[in-house]
Structure 1
Amino acid sequence: MDNLSQRSGLRLASIKQSGSVIAAYSIVVIMFFIGMAIMDGFASSNTILSLLVLASFVGIAAIGQNLVILLGGIDMSLPYMITLGNLMVPFLNSHHVPTVFSILIVLAIAVVVGAINGMLSSWLKLHPLIITLGVGYIVNGILYFVTQGIPLGEPPVFLEHLAALNGHVFGIPVPPVVFIWFALAALVVWMLRGTRLGRQIYAVGANPKAAELVLIKRVKVWTYTYVASAVLAAMAGMLLSGFSGGGSFGIGDPYLFVTVGAVAIGGTSLLGGAGGYMGTLAGVLILTEINMILTGLNMDASQQKILYGIIVLIMIAIYGRELHIKNRL
């Protein structure tokens, strides 16, 4: 009977997750028609490409946030890692460091930061909110020390081409950054569904104690996942520098709540153990559509932040009131 009830619980959780993803994509379509009704030219190819490019930066960073939330954690250092990638590549470029080495240096720093986040959170068994926020502040302080608080340099032409609205991929008029986002999305969906690491992430998020009993190394899973989150956030920051033409302190700040909001809207439980990136991708598109509509209505940044905050709070209220998946099986 226990096995039967467990299988029934898993089927019900799967059905509920599928319903959440369908609902999220339905909202994408609804928001698009609302945009068409409110703004002239919302359905034009230029606007759609702009929407996809803006969404790609959020979407790449949200992959890592999605993974750590599936573990039952959160990555508060994500904005600082975006700022790191955004500032350091132009800064190193201004000091004549070759582009390849600049990118490798940033990615190496991201690996170290992610490993620290994951290992400390799992070893000390403190809530990752505390660990990642503290590590993020340290990263930000080091950035101020290295740059003296003054963003320097321009991004390499390579990054500008990747983020260009008029870019092409294999002759197709799609900006390369959008192609990169979709390729990474396909990779993470496959990883979660078809690999051992993906199954381990769900297992640890659903029931850490049970996962340890079946010899899943919780520290290793947390470390790998937080490394992925830091690396993806740094990648998003580097691509942002190519889009904006330079680095900027605080550029990553809005991405924390936007990524968490996208994950929640996409149906991933904020308690961990249930969800996936297909829904998060829809959440990213929804929030980007809202942002473009609000911008078209001449709403200022503070009003947009208020709306994002309301959305996140509503979704946390909805998903945070659910029983954890281990108590539903």
Structure 2
Amino acid sequence: MSQSTLAALKWTGLAVAFIVAGIGLIFGFYQGLPAQQVILYTAATFALVAWAWRAFAMRWSEGTRTAAPEIRDADGNLVAPSGRAAWRGFVRKNRAVIAGLIILLLVFGICSITIEGFFSVLNIISLLVLVGLLVFSAFMSKFVVENRSAFIGLTVLVGLFVVGSLKIDGFIYPANIKSMLLFASFLGLACVGQTMVALLGGLDLSIPFVIGAANVGLLYLIGLGMPGWIAVIIITLVGVLIGLLNGFLSFRLQGQALILTLGIGFATSGITQILTSLGSRFAGNVFGAVPEWLSNLAAMNGTTFGLDFPPVILVWLVVAAALIVGMKNTVYGRYLYALGGNRTSASRLSISERRYWVAAYAISGGVSALTGCLLLGWSGGGFIGVGQPYLFMTLAAVVIGGTSLLGGAGGYGFTVIGVLVLQVLTSFLVGIGLNYQWQQFIFGLLILPMVALYARSPHIRTQV
């Protein structure tokens, strides 16, 4: 790397440290803190940011100095790039990291202005932790060729957990961790089918509607006098049938698969409300008694072999382990990756694309229906809209985990990381007292740099 580039990096580090410290200085005086305290914290912030930049960005840049390409003129003489050109190259190469830093600072500034008491020393420390982990994970990912998505996802997860522990009282208490794992289990199970479909290059937008329909339909069947376990089996099989329909039709209409699954989802939700509201004034809601075994399975006060945690967490762990191992070590899993990576090559190996495509959607429908049944045990009442949050959450978990939506790359292990990141982030936003609108705003802004960092790697078809 040229001297001009190194100089540009040094000045950039000083500028970043100055901006961060300046923001702290302005808000410190705005909050009415003592001048000595504001000056002390500003100086400490400037020194910490400058040191972090030197420790990570500059050392990494100096280590790559010999790898910089040579620029020669028409006569073959070496030409040193200008400082402006070096700066543009640096920005272009690290635009995702810079965008993430800008978004974090923007979010912090907006929250500090609009939320009383948000600007504090502890929050500044939390911001610096997030910034440091973002820069660290971005630069270290250049050296982690294998499982880069897992590395960055785990770094983000650790960062969120550390910041939550610093900021929120009781964040690391067993009760809160149990709550996060419970909701992560529901989301993780809902993501099973989405991950398998994404590995083939498809998407299933019917998942939230199947979840809501199963939630209402199960309690409706139980209210008719059907034994609970038989009703769960029937609802799950109906989910499989919906998945089969999604698979067959979307395979025939590949270009319209996204809209098709969404349409089938709406139809499923509509017909469920029609059937369950006959003779009732409440469309989309079913009231009744939920079996105790189902409540114990999915409610917060459920127990597993005498231990104080709901069995659905153990169910998710078993399913996750089976999928992670099975997708890499079974014929079905290997063929699924082969089809997602290159359909033409897979067809020449006599792998039936239609069979695996339809099977993936059938699994998605069945697991989605089972998730809706488990959510009934948690809520205690049937509601057709219970699955609506999963329309975005399943897609976000799959993408944040690093599974390519073009197919052929990723896996359920990566999705597990994405699920945990989303759940810890949600718990953190709730813990700092943000209302739903602010949660959605910050949620989207924080997801963007995560996706930009490691969900846009070159597709496997371009590397074969």
Whether 1:159 and 2:288 are equivalent positions in the alignment is: no
Counterpart-to-counterpart distance in 1, 2:351 and 2:446: 35
Describe the SS at the equivalent of 1:275.
coil
Q: Which residue of 2 aligns with 1:109?
A: 238
Residues 223-281 of structure 1, C-alpha deviation per residue, up to 9 Å, x if partnerless? 11111111111111111111111111211111121111111111111211000111111
Whether 1:256 and 2:385 are equivalent positions in the alignment is: no
Describe the SS at the equivalent of 2:393.
helix
Residues 185-240 of structure 1, C-alpha deviation per residue, up to 9 Å, x if partnerless? 01111221111110111111111121111111001001111111111111111111
Give the deviation of 1:286 after TM superposition: 0.9
Paired amino acid for 2:289: E
Describe the SS at the equivalent of 1:165.
coil
TM-score by length of 1: 0.90
Paired amino acid for 1:122: F
Contact 1:73 1:127 in 2 (8 A): no
Counterparts in 2 of 1:307 and 1:73: CA distance versus 1, 3 Å: farther
Counterparts in 2 of 1:94 and 1:176: CA distance versus 1, 3 Å: same
Q: Which residue of 2 aligns with 1:91?
A: 220
Contact 1:260 1:312 in 2 (8 A): no
Paired amino acid for 1:198: G
Residues 62-90 of structure 1, C-alpha deviation per residue, up to 9 Å, x if partnerless? 11111111110111000001102211111
Paired amino acid for 1:92: L
Q: Which residue of 1 aligns with 2:64?
A: none
| Aligned counterpart for 2:262 among listed residues 133, 146, 152 | 133
Contact 1:269 1:319 in 2 (8 A): no
Counterparts of 1:214-233 in structure 2, within 5 Å, are: 214-233=349-368
In structure 2, stretches of 5+ residues that fail to align are 1-143, 278-282
Q: CA RMSD in A?
A: 1.8
| Aligned counterpart for 1:21 among listed residues 146, 150, 166 | 150
Describe the SS at the equivalent of 1:212.
helix
Q: Which residue of 2 aligns with 1:328?
A: 463
Give the deviation of 1:169 after TM superposition: 2.4
Moved more, 312-321 or 163-172: 312-321
Q: Which residue of 1 aligns with 2:330?
A: 195
Counterpart-to-counterpart distance in 1, 2:202 and 2:247: 10
Counterpart-to-counterpart distance in 1, 2:212 and 2:377: 13
| Aligned counterpart for 2:303 among listed residues 168, 171, 185 | 168
Describe the SS at the equivalent of 1:250.
helix
Give the deviation of 1:284 after TM superposition: 0.6
Q: Which residue of 1 aligns with 2:104?
A: none
Counterpart-to-counterpart distance in 1, 2:265 and 2:155: 35
Whether 1:273 and 2:402 are equivalent positions in the alignment is: no
Describe the SS at the equivalent of 2:236.
helix
Q: Which residue of 1 aligns with 2:427?
A: 292
Tell me which structure has the larger Cα radius of gyration: 2
Contact 1:91 1:151 in 2 (8 A): no
Describe the SS at the equivalent of 1:73.
coil
TM-score by length of 2: 0.65
Q: Which residue of 2 aligns with 1:37?
A: 166
Counterpart-to-counterpart distance in 2, 1:141 and 1:230: 17
Q: Which residue of 1 aligns with 2:208?
A: 79
Counterparts in 2 of 1:261 and 1:303: CA distance versus 1, 3 Å: same
In structure 1, stretches of 5+ residues that fail to align are 1-14
Q: Which has the higher contact order (CA 8 A, sep 6+)?
A: 1
Kindly, what percent of the aligned residue pairs are identical? 38
Describe the SS at the equivalent of 2:312.
helix
